[in-house]
Amino acid sequence: MNLLLLSNSTTDAGYLAHAQSAIADWAGDRRRAVFLPFAGVTRDWDDYTALVQGALADTGVEVTGLHRVDDPVRSVRDAQLILVGGGNTFHLLHHCRRLGLLEAVRAAVRAGTPYLGWSAGSNLACPTICTTNDMPIVDPGGFDALGLLGFQINPHYTNAVPAGVRGETRNQRIAEFMHVKPQLPVLGLPEGNWLQVAGEQGVLHGPHTSWWFRAGQEPQALPAGPLPYPLA
């Protein structure tokens, strides 16, 4: 598999600007990309597609919004690249399931079609979407997702707590998840970081320390470099 899973898209430098070089390398000489804009809720899907088209213009990637094609499943099968944007993960999964896209995307990626996801799009690559930070604004018909990885990702990871806030920390929320699903580790991916997967090797990139959570163990700090755990 060829995966590029970003924690976030928006930076002070511009949309997807922090990962431009990584995206260009990930795409290689492939140009025809389908974009799944379904995590967008308050953002119109045409506007979302145009935003991604503009952000990737310098890479040469040609982006087609999957909401505008007659046969989304066939378009996924024929695509050279698959892009899945951020927004609300429940909304994304709901529409992927409604359109019958989960199996099509899973099969295409396992057959070698490169997959780029950010935020909700990174959540979708996991066994479930249960480590998203989003509100369940729609019923997705189940939480199981693409299962391209054998662990979960928590995008936008931070354990910071604003002064005066008494709610659970992110680490406590992740601990709750692992109490229920102890077989699934969680990768906490701070903003600005991403996970790149080439074949059976995962590599962490970005300026910040990522974190690896396993049931019954203290969180482990992970610097940029090869992921010291299997992908499956």
**Annotated active-site positions, please?**
119, 134, 156
Q: Where are the alpha helices (DSSP H) in 56-160?
A: 72-78, 89-98, 101-110, 120-124
Cβ neighbours of residue 199 closer than 8 Å, sequence gap 6 or more: 1
* Alpha-carbon dihedral angle through residues 189, 190, 193, 194, given to the nearest 10 degrees: 20
For residues 216 and 185, is the Cβ–Cβ distance under 8 A? no
The per-residue DSSP string of 24-59 comes to HHHHTT--EEEEE-TT-SSS-HHHHHHHHHHHTGGG
Tell me how far apart the alpha carbons of residues 2 and 81 are, in angstroms, rounded to a whole number.
10
Tell me how far CA of residue 114 lies from CA of 20, 69, 92, 164, in angstroms.
16, 20, 19, 44
Would you say 188 and 209 are in contact if contact means Cβ atoms under 8 Å apart? no
Cα 175 to Cα 172: distance, rounded to the nearest angstrom: 5
